[in-house]
Structure 1
Amino acid sequence: MARAKAAGAQSLRSMALDPVRNFKHEALDVPEWDAAKVVVMALSAGDWAEYRRRAAAAVAAARAAVGLTEIPEEEEGEAPAARLVDIDSSPLYAFVLVRTLLDESHARIFEDADVETVAKAFSPVHDRLVGKAFELSGVEAGAGAQDPVEAAGND
């Protein structure tokens, strides 16, 4: 009886600690990758916090590069769009892909050190997978939705 109870507790522990079981996820076919099957998972709270930190740092660096203060100062009568700067979002979206793209066995495909490499190869295919990760994370994506970079602090 004790063994059965211990085995049941171990199984419950495994289920409680399984990130794929505990986060929204979706299996997808990627036709451009010879119909490879992948799993895209929602961002964890830690991933989302790191994404926001990276987005804020990218915005601050872009503002500094064009001679603006790192934190936008509101001026009376100024439209919010006048305070925005363009940033290369590929490294941010590559970070999301690295953290959320899994193979069929639910193992991560990329390591954190791969973000720069993924950013250099970023394409519409990658963008589609990142869009799915944001959707699963409860972040609206697509036309008319607020850009997640802006949501992270580019205002």
Structure 2
Amino acid sequence: MARAKAGAVGLRAMALDPMRNFKHERLTIEEWDGAQVVVRALSAGDWVEYRRRASLAVAEARQDAGLPAQNSAPEDVEDAPIEPRVEVQSSPLYAFVLVRALLDESNTRVFTDDDVPVVAEAFSPVHDRLVGKVFELSGVAAGATAEDPVDAAGNG
């Protein structure tokens, strides 16, 4: 009987272990003196927050372009005027992804959500490469030929 309980406890721990339940990859970052980091796929909660932030970024970009915050034309109307594309500041969105998915060698988050503005300000090709890996692990294509994740979130 003790063996069954120990198995249940082990199963519970495995079921609740985010590193066991999310794709992740250990990487060496040469630009950071060979530091070892772990990046993991985004959780459902991360995606919900990403979508919320993307929606706010699109609304802000639309307002900055003198457009209403939301596209008022129904998508299925063939005669609807084509609205101009707006430029969305992607660094804060990608910084959010990195903040949520970058872990140290002991699988502890490096940043908190409060660090998003600081990470966005420091965003570089190294950060971009890590975010690309997070998207890859999350099942989203990344790169020059891939659909923009902001558009993929349904907010473009």
Aligned to 2:141: 140
Aligned to 1:28: 27
8 Å contact kept, 1:72–1:83: no
Matched residues, number: 152
Aligned to 1:108: 109
TM-score normalised according to structure 2 size: 0.91
Please report how far the alpha carbon of residue 73 of structure 1 lies from its aligned counterpart in structure 2 after TM superposition. 3.7
Aligned to 2:79: 76
Structure with higher RCO (Cα < 8 A, 6+ apart)? 1
Aligned to 1:10: 9
Post-superposition CA distance 1:12-69 (Å, at most 9, x none)? 1111100011001111110000011111100001101110110011000110122101
Aligned to 2:47: 48
Secondary structure (helix, strand or coil) at the match of 1:105 reads coil
Please report how far the alpha carbon of residue 76 of structure 1 lies from its aligned counterpart in structure 2 after TM superposition. 2.8
8 Å contact kept, 1:84–1:154: no
Secondary structure (helix, strand or coil) at the match of 1:83 reads coil
Post-superposition CA distance 1:108-152 (Å, at most 9, x none)? 111111111111111110000000000000001002110001112
Q: Which amino acid in the other structure matches residue 142 of structure 1?
A: G
8 Å contact kept, 1:59–1:154: yes
Secondary structure (helix, strand or coil) at the match of 2:26 reads strand
Please report how far the alpha carbon of residue 5 of structure 1 lies from its aligned counterpart in structure 2 after TM superposition. 2.7
CA distance in 2, matches of 1:83, 1:8: 58
Post-superposition CA distance 1:73-112 (Å, at most 9, x none)? 4473755xx5320021111000000000111111111111
What percent identity do the matched residue pairs reach? Answer: 66
Q: What's the C-alpha RMSD, in Å, of the aligned pairs?
A: 1.6
Pairing of 1:55-94 with structure 2 (within 5 A)? 55-74=54-73, 76=79, 78-79=81-82, 82-94=83-95
TM-score normalised according to structure 1 size: 0.91
Instruction: Extract unaligned runs of 5+ from structure 2.
Output: none
Pairing of 1:124-139 with structure 2 (within 5 A)? 124-139=125-140
